[in-house]
Structure 1
Amino acid sequence: MVYDVCFLLLQSIAHDARTLNLARTLVKNGKSVLLLGIGTADDCAHLALEGLIFIPILPPTPLSKLFLRWMKFYVFLFFKRNEFCSRIYCAEDVFTLPMAVMLASKFNSKVIYDSREIFSALASNHSRPLRQKIITLIEKKYVKNVTRMFTSGELDSEYLSTYLSIPTPVVIMNVPPFSTPNHSNLLRDKYSIPKNSRILIYQGWIAEGRGIIEVVKALQHLPEMVLCLVGDGEFQTVVLERARQEHVENRVIFCGKVPYDHLPLLTASADAGICFIEPISLSYSFALPNKLFEYCMAGIPTLVSDLPAMRRVLEEFPIGILVDPKATSILIAKSIRELFDEQFQLKFHEIQTTAARNYCWENQEHKVLDIFTS
């Protein structure tokens, strides 16, 4: 079979919001889609119900080394490449870009590149210059074979246009499908959180530079609040140790990873979201994370670091409180309290639906179709 589009992703399909939204849009519009990534037989069955063909190249493994995953993934594709014929191959990150080019060259197909981050300046590599240099060289080599490229933010597109000497990439924002908030006590019931406690939620990769440590430190000034961390990452051991040092470990809850399709209900059971990115790399400085829009869609306000892309959103729709990324724990705690101020809550709920309708996936779909059908 010849597919219209084949997505390559070096991560768990069940937790990859962006790839799922892209693939679902294409299938809804009559395209045949193949997904090659990390996952399980259950993922295959679940996605098949939607008309999506998913082949798990690797099973989900707890925090295995990126290079080992990349090697296993690449070797599998190399020997099975005859089985994955597609008119378009979409690399969902720089790590799958060489694989997309390899497959496209065999079948004389197009390559589309989703540069969802500034891969030449990743936060995870800010103290690993050699690894960052290798990734940068890979991107510069293989981007020459790319037919179309898109990013998740205007600042990313502007930077990459100059850095890679390419036409300015289209922006497809990393936002959720529209839905109305469905508030519940899911987190409160599951983790026996007292009724008089307020729940702060952070969802995403638990890593350095995500502001998690700073919020944990702020908890000592917020005795009535609990922090739920939805996600995983090696950095969670550092977070736990810091929570113990601050004597707030009983108010920091590690919820683990949650599949994307199950996330909205969980998010809506919190009282406020955390999107406190620290500018430890260029990629983070330009950050416009999907969690900011997922919190809004769930009907909860957000603590937001005052960085350019996120500031633009809040200047248009004040769906959160901006805080200097270098703020002290006392100032962070004060800003979190402002999220629950009666006047702020009134303003937030007045604009929440308008903001959610503005920043929803449905408004990105026409750009997706243009990229994948032109």
Structure 2
Amino acid sequence: MSKPQLLILSFSSIAGDARVLKQVRLFRDRYAVTTCGYGPPPEGVVEHVRIPDDRPAHDLNGRLITLHWYRRALWSIPAVAWAGDALAGRRFDAVLANDLEAVPVAVRLAGGTRVHADLHEYTPRLHEEHEAWNRRIRPFHEWVARRYATRAASWTTVSGGLAREYERQFGFSPRIVTNAAPYADLQPTPVGDRIRIVHSGACLRNRNIMAMAEGVAAASAPVSLELYLTPNDPGYLEELRRFAEQSAGADGVPSVVLHDPVPYDSLIRTLNGFDLGIHVLPPVNFNNEWALPNKLFDYVQARLGVVVGPSAEMAEYVRTHDLGLVLDDFSAEALTRALDALDREAVAGFKRSADAAAEPMSAEAQVHVWADCVGRIIEEARA
């Protein structure tokens, strides 16, 4: 019998999307995997249906949204329309749809009983801090979730807070697959005279990066912060660059250093040379409040201690595994206080705890949930 046919659909550049790549790597030897998304094909798939770069996935027709013509608004999104046409008439035993925007295409193509929805965010409250978005766009995403996501056979999401909200609002209960990184065979590095802190990720104002830089720069303890940032907001990146250039202490050594981003494949080995990974994320919206981001797991695989704000999901992991510090609040002052009370021995202990947690917090300990969900769909499709 031929291998079951699985479509992995994502409106992202799949070859560079860490979460979707984990799906590809999990299933490419079990099933005949076709991917549909932007960019080049990921390794090991039988076919890649490439969405043209000029077909954006978030280009909503404002007039249709204002008129509440949500069905027309959905199917006029360029990526949704293009993928729907490109995949029409194809048959797959199962479709793994990533994020809410992909679920309608999957349901139209395969029917809900053959769809697993992996919901990376709680999309209906994605930008709720912006009043106009909350008033106009949130009802559209709620309609998509109610009309299409509820019809899927199974669901996953990234954290407990998001799962509970999907169940409360729409009646389905996603299982959890965290954004864990694959297990890395590394060891903690020794802590030097200066405690080296690192933050990697997107350069966005709502990520609180300037407050982290200010908190480190104000500390009297021998600490430094190095930033590996993607240039999402060039203006904000330039502000951070100017701050870093002026951050040298009495010894002439800068307390904040800005680097170009590194490819994800080399990120964890790059991080391994540091002591603490930091992510102090204010709860400016629902998704931030319940965030459990990939960088937390990257830091653990890099065998770093971890510094976070009092974000419920991240703080629980840090406390459970004794990974590092949970700040009193999200301010620069709270970070400075915590760093000034820290010593090298404590940091070395956090790094040892990260080493102990690396295997149970790895992707390999998570992806069996996807295997179970998709396996059940394929089993029923072939019965």
TM value normalised by structure 2: 0.80
Correspondent of 1:241 among 239, 249, 253: 239
Q: Is the 8 Å Cα contact of residues 216 and 243 (structure 1) preserved in structure 2?
A: no
Change (3 A) 1:237 1:132: farther
Look up the equivalent residue of 2:279 and give its one-letter code.
Answer: C
Q: 1:130-145 alignment to 2 at 5 Å?
A: 130-145=136-151
Correspondent of 2:122 among 102, 118, 124: 118
Query: What's 2:330 paired with?
Result: 326
Look up the equivalent residue of 1:220 and give its one-letter code.
Answer: A
Look up the equivalent residue of 2:205 and give its one-letter code.
Answer: E
Deviation at 1:203, TM superposition (A): 2.4
Deviation at 1:314, TM superposition (A): 1.6
Query: What's 1:74 paired with?
Result: 80
Count of residue correspondences: 348
Query: What's 2:301 paired with?
Result: 297
Q: 1:181-200 alignment to 2 at 5 Å?
A: 181=186, 199-200=196-197
Deviation at 1:233, TM superposition (A): 1.6
Correspondent of 2:288 among 275, 284, 287: 284
Change (3 A) 1:305 1:224: closer
Change (3 A) 1:103 1:204: farther
Q: Is the 8 Å Cα contact of residues 113 and 151 (structure 2) preserved in structure 1?
A: no
Change (3 A) 1:7 1:314: same
Q: Is the 8 Å Cα contact of residues 299 and 305 (structure 2) preserved in structure 1?
A: yes
Q: Is the 8 Å Cα contact of residues 196 and 275 (structure 2) preserved in structure 1?
A: yes
1:15 aligns with 2:21: no
Look up the equivalent residue of 2:258 and give its one-letter code.
Answer: I
Change (3 A) 1:97 1:336: farther
Deviation at 1:343, TM superposition (A): 2.4
Distance 1:79 1:159 in 2: 32
Q: Is the 8 Å Cα contact of residues 200 and 295 (structure 2) preserved in structure 1?
A: yes
SS at match of 2:88: helix
Q: Is the 8 Å Cα contact of residues 35 and 53 (structure 1) preserved in structure 2?
A: yes
SS at match of 2:121: coil
Q: Is the 8 Å Cα contact of residues 3 and 34 (structure 1) preserved in structure 2?
A: no
Distance 1:79 1:3 in 2: 23
Distance 1:80 1:310 in 2: 40
Q: 1:175-214 alignment to 2 at 5 Å?
A: 175-181=180-186, 199-214=196-211
Deviating more after overlay: 199-208 vs 358-367? 199-208
Distance 1:333 1:151 in 2: 34
Look up the equivalent residue of 2:81 and give its one-letter code.
Answer: V
Deviation at 1:224, TM superposition (A): 5.5
Correspondent of 1:171 among 153, 171, 176: 176
TM value normalised by structure 1: 0.82
SS at match of 1:113: strand
Look up the equivalent residue of 1:58 and give its one-letter code.
Answer: P
Q: Is the 8 Å Cα contact of residues 317 and 355 (structure 1) preserved in structure 2?
A: yes
Query: What's 1:373 paired with?
Result: 375
Query: What's 1:359 paired with?
Result: 361
Q: Is the 8 Å Cα contact of residues 219 and 225 (structure 1) preserved in structure 2?
A: yes
Q: Deviations over 1:242-261 (max 9, x none)?
A: 553683498442524x4432
Q: Over aligned residues, Cα RMSD in angstroms?
A: 3.1
Deviation at 1:19, TM superposition (A): 0.9
Query: What's 2:275 paired with?
Result: 271
Query: What's 1:187 paired with?
Result: none
Q: Is the 8 Å Cα contact of residues 124 and 141 (structure 2) preserved in structure 1?
A: yes
Deviation at 1:148, TM superposition (A): 0.6
Look up the equivalent residue of 2:371 and give its one-letter code.
Answer: L
Deviating more after overlay: 74-83 vs 295-304? 74-83
Deviation at 1:36, TM superposition (A): 1.1
Q: Is the 8 Å Cα contact of residues 9 and 95 (structure 2) preserved in structure 1?
A: yes
SS at match of 2:325: strand
Change (3 A) 1:101 1:38: same
Correspondent of 1:255 among 235, 251, 260: 260
Q: Is the 8 Å Cα contact of residues 219 and 248 (structure 1) preserved in structure 2?
A: no
Deviation at 1:306, TM superposition (A): 1.0
Deviation at 1:282, TM superposition (A): 1.3
SS at match of 1:36: strand
Deviation at 1:279, TM superposition (A): 0.5
Distance 1:52 1:261 in 2: 23
1:312 aligns with 2:311: no
Look up the equivalent residue of 2:337 and give its one-letter code.
Answer: K
SS at match of 1:283: helix
Distance 1:204 1:73 in 2: 26
Q: Is the 8 Å Cα contact of residues 123 and 284 (structure 1) preserved in structure 2?
A: no
SS at match of 1:315: helix
Q: 1:221-236 alignment to 2 at 5 Å?
A: 221-222=218-219, 225-234=224-233, 236=234
Q: Is the 8 Å Cα contact of residues 218 and 333 (structure 1) preserved in structure 2?
A: yes
Deviation at 1:134, TM superposition (A): 2.2
Distance 1:99 1:259 in 2: 31
Distance 1:84 1:231 in 2: 37
Extract unaligned runs of 5+ from structure 2.
Answer: 62-75, 249-253, 377-383
1:155 aligns with 2:161: yes
Identity across aligned pairs (percent)?
20
SS at match of 2:226: strand
Distance 2:341 2:299 in 1: 16
Q: Is the 8 Å Cα contact of residues 5 and 88 (structure 1) preserved in structure 2?
A: yes
